[in-house]
Amino acid sequence: MSLETARTEYLNVDDVRFAFRRLGPTAGTPLILLQHFTGTMDAWDPAVADGLAATRPVIAFNNLGIGTSTGRTPDTVEQMAADAGTFIRGLGLSKVDLVGFSLGGMLAQVLAMQHPSLIRKIVIAGAAPRGGEEHLLAVVEDAFAQGAPDVRLPLFFTPSEKSQRAGQAFVARATARTQDRDPDSGDDVSVPQAKAIIGWCAVKDEGDTTLRAIAQPALIVHGSDDTMFPSINAYNMFKAMKNAQFVLYPDSGHGAVFQYPETFVAHCHTFLDA
């Protein structure tokens, strides 16, 4: 079962419904994917999701208000993390790993801090710490202004020929699914999510209390030239955490993990299997 073909399942918890898809084997610690700003399940790179699912159960889902999940998109990282926790526990899972990309990497930090026994290990890709430097609106606005065939080409990749070529391959992979695709996100998603990201970065976390409270092993992965969340954020996260590995990829932007999917998958397996 691959990201391109997995059927959409639904989980009802109280009055809300989460859409999700399962990939990979059933045995092993499940790996939950936490998605980026405005991203649905279909915005994941199949090369990443399927690569991770080669040897472990992987679950992609839409948080509340996204795609065919019901509910409203909240405007804080904390509430999004709480909703993700509701989803994970709702599936009956008692121990999971997380891969969070961008906004999803912020959720991963909160979940790891708040749920030391539920969350085993976290991968934080292309994210910022609480109080970190962000250029979300400027970078998104600039990317849309470029009129690229897919806004993710300028948003996730550097201007170099090599990075743009990798970007085109990513876009082809991420649009391969034709059946049962999630509807794209609108303003009802982007507005509160932007508020959540900006709010997360707006207030300095003196003494890095969030990062220092995370006892689980973490893998921080970042692009050399991420314009949305500069790589120095990620370096500072590494320095503040007790047990983090840090990986940077060359000539890469916010979507570094989609530029080097095989390498990223290998790094995740090495980290998660250790």
Does residue 21 touch a copy of itself according to CB under 8 A? Answer: no
Q: Token digits for 226? A: 């991420």
Chain residues 233-252 in contact with a copy of itself, contact rule CB under 8 A:
235, 238-239, 241-251
Does residue 170 touch a copy of itself according to CB under 8 A? Answer: no
The DSSP element (H or E) to which 20 belongs, if any, is: strand 16-23
Tracing tokens 């003196």 back to the chain, one arrives at 206
Binding map of a copy of itself across residues 212-231, x = CB under 8 A, - = no contact: ------------x-------
Please classify residue 34 by burial: count the beta carbons closer than 10 Å to its beta carbon, then call 0-12 exposed, 13-18 middle and 19+ buried: buried
Measured in whole angstroms, how far is the alpha carbon of residue 110 from the centre of its chain? 13
User: Smaller CB distance to a copy of itself: residue 76 or 164?
Assistant: 164
β-pairing verdict for 16-23 and 9-13: antiparallel
* Minimum CB distance to a copy of itself, residue 242 (Å): 7
Closest to 181 in 3D by CA, of 57, 3, 38:
3
Does residue 266 touch a copy of itself according to CB under 8 A? Answer: yes
* Minimum CB distance to a copy of itself, residue 259 (Å): 12
Stretch that binds a copy of itself, among 63-71, 83-91, 186-194, 261-269 (CB under 8 A): 261-269
Cβ(221)–Cβ(48) below 8 Å: no
Does residue 11 touch a copy of itself according to CB under 8 A? Answer: no
State the residues that interact with a copy of itself by CB under 8 A: 224, 235, 238-239, 241-251, 262-263, 266-267, 270-271, 274
